[in-house]
Amino acid sequence: MEDEGWGARMKARARELGLTDAEVARRLGLSQSRYSAYVNGKREPDLATLRRICGVLRTTPDALLGMAEDQPTEDLVLSSAIAALKAMEPHRRELAASILRVMASHPAHPGGPGRARRTVTKKAASTRQRRTPTG
């Protein structure tokens, strides 16, 4: 992993997320000097640390290692989500899984958010009309 591409990809991904090296190191629970050694190719992370790095940077090991160039975007999104889930504590992972199950069981409204608002507005209007006293 002494190839400069590895560190450059880590640094670029952190910048895409708006994270400084110091913030990435803090989130990983590493000293800045140790994280810097990974970014500069002076040190190789063990597998557990690589997984944590991928979780914090919301990416995959393949992407960081430069092997994901031909991978479809959808696969990268799924791989990134899986890496993030694996980096979570078990109780947070279960919460995230519950949220995803709810989202999957309630597909987006076919008319989009604006359509859903109009439907609610029509219902509210008909309720208001029924409540209005006739005289």
Q: What domains are defined for the chain?
A: 4-87 (1.10.260.40)
DSSP symbols for 55-91:
HHTT--HHHHTT--TTS-HHHHHHHHHHHHHHHS-HH
Mean pLDDT of 37-58: 90
Q: How far apart are the C-alpha atoms of 36 and 31, rounded to whole Å? A: 9
Q: Which residue has the higher pLDDT, 23 or 81?
A: 23
- What pTM, to 2 d.p., does this model score? 0.51
Phi and psi torsions of 51, nearest 5°: -65, -40
Query: How far apart are alpha carbons 116 and 102 in whole angstroms?
Result: 18
Q: What is the pLDDT of residue 69?
A: 60
57-101 pLDDT per residue, tens? 988 888 888 876 655 556 667 777 887 888 889 899 999 989 988
